[in-house]
Amino acid sequence: MKKKEFLYEGKAKKIWTTDDPSVYLVEYKNSLTAFNAAKKDSIEGKGRLNNLISSALFEYLAGHGIPTHFIRRIDEIHQLVRAVKIIPVEVIARNITTGTLCKRLGVEEGIRLPRPLIELCLKDDALGDPLITEDHALLFGWTTEEQLNKIKEITLKVNSLLSEYFLSLGIVLVDFKLEFGTDGEGNLLLSDEISPDTCRFWDRDTNDRLDKDRFRKDLGNVLGAYEEIWRRISGSGK
C-alpha cells in the first residue's frame, strides 16, 4: 500500500491517500495539545503509544461487533483505515463527573453517574468545538436522525464494552470522545482514534490519572501514563 497525496494534518495525526481510493494512511504524531490547542508540547514516543493503543482498542471493538474504519496497523506510528467522510458531530460519553462538565455546571468532581451522560459537540476548532443539542445537529444538517440514533446506540455499546474491559485491567473509564464517519457506501463507522488523548482513565485503586489530564493539569510523567495504559493492554491477553 503506497502513500500518495497528503490530505490533512490535525492536532495529533496526519492523513494521506493511498493507491487504493477507499483506504487512507494515518500517521500518529508526538504532539500534545490541550484547551483547543492553546497549550502545546511534543513528547517523543507519544505517537507510537497512541497508535498501538488505538489499534488494539479498534481491534477489540471490531471483534465485538462495532463497525470501525480501522483496517490494520502497519508499523509503530502508521495504520491503514477506510476512507470516510467525518460527521462534524463529536460524541462525549461520561461515566464520572470531571473536566469541563464540572466547570460548566458547578458540580463536584468524581460523582459516579447512575447511567452514561451523552453530550454532543460541533467539530469546529475555530469555534472551540462548542456543545450542541440534538436539534442543532439535525436542523443544521450536520447529521441525520437515523445516523444520530445509530451514533448514540454505538456509543453506549462502546462505553459498556470498554468500561468492562478496562475494569478488568484495573482501570476506570471515566469519559471519552468519539468521532464517526461514513464510507463510500454510506456505512456509519467509528473513526478517528481511541487513546489517552481522547479518553480519561483513572487507576481503579489509586485514582491516578493515566491520560492527557496529566498534561492539561501539569501533573508530569505524561508519557509514563500512556506507557502504563499500553503495558496493561498488551499484557492482558484480550
Instruction: Answer whether 55's CB lies under 8 Å from 73's CB.
Output: yes
Cβ within 8 Å of residue 68, ≥6 positions away? 58, 61, 62, 189, 190, 191
Task: Give yes or no for residue 128 having a pLDDT over 90.
Answer: yes
Q: What is the CATH number of the domain that holds 45?
A: 3.30.200.20
pLDDT > 90 in the chain, percent = 95
- Phi, psi dihedral angles at 103 (to 5 degrees): -65, -40
**Residue-averaged pLDDT of the chain:** 96
Asked if 59 and 156 sit in the same domain, the reply is no
Asked if 71 and 128 sit in the same domain, the reply is no
Residue at a domain's end among 57, 82, 107: 82
Q: What is the DSSP code string of 79-110?
A: EEEE--EE-SEEEEEEEE--THHHHHH-PPTT
Residue 76 domain flag: yes
Asked if 171 and 206 sit in the same domain, the reply is yes
Residue 179 domain flag: yes
pLDDT by residue (tens digit) across 170-217? 999 999 999 999 999 999 999 999 999 999 999 999 999 999 999 999
Residue at a domain's end among 82, 101, 132: 82
Task: Give yes or no for residue 1 having a pLDDT over 80.
Answer: no
Residue 3's pLDDT band (cuts 50, 70, 90)? confident
Residue 15 domain flag: yes
Asked if 108 and 215 sit in the same domain, the reply is yes
Residue 203 domain flag: yes
Question: What domain range is 73 assigned to?
Answer: 3-82
Residue 132 domain flag: yes
Task: Give yes or no for residue 41 having a pLDDT over 60.
Answer: yes
Asked if 100 and 141 sit in the same domain, the reply is yes
Q: In the chain, how many domains are there?
A: 2
Asked if 46 and 99 sit in the same domain, the reply is no
Which contacts of 125-131 are long-range, i.e. CB under 8 A and separated by 24 or more positions?
125/36, 125/37, 128/36, 129/36, 129/90, 131/104
Task: Give yes or no for residue 104 having a pLDDT over 50.
Answer: yes
Asked if 192 and 118 sit in the same domain, the reply is yes
pLDDT number for residue 115: 98
Task: Give yes or no for residue 237 having a pLDDT over 50.
Answer: no
- How many Å apart are CA 205 and CA 1, to the nearest integer? 44
Asked if 95 and 137 sit in the same domain, the reply is yes
Q: What is the CATH number of the domain that holds 206?
A: 3.30.470.20
Asked if 38 and 16 sit in the same domain, the reply is yes
pLDDT by residue (tens digit) across 204-234? 999 999 999 999 999 999 999 999 999 999 9
pLDDT number for residue 84: 98
Residue 10 domain flag: yes
Residue 236's pLDDT band (cuts 50, 70, 90)? low
Asked if 116 and 146 sit in the same domain, the reply is yes
Instruction: Answer whether 152's CB lies under 8 Å from 91's CB.
Output: yes
Asked if 65 and 144 sit in the same domain, the reply is no
pLDDT number for residue 38: 85
Asked if 68 and 117 sit in the same domain, the reply is no
Whether the full predicted model's pTM is greater than 0.85, yes or no, is yes
Residue 37's pLDDT band (cuts 50, 70, 90)? confident
Task: Give yes or no for residue 57 having a pLDDT over 60.
Answer: yes
Residue 238 domain flag: no
Residue at a domain's end among 53, 82, 111: 82
Residue 36 domain flag: yes
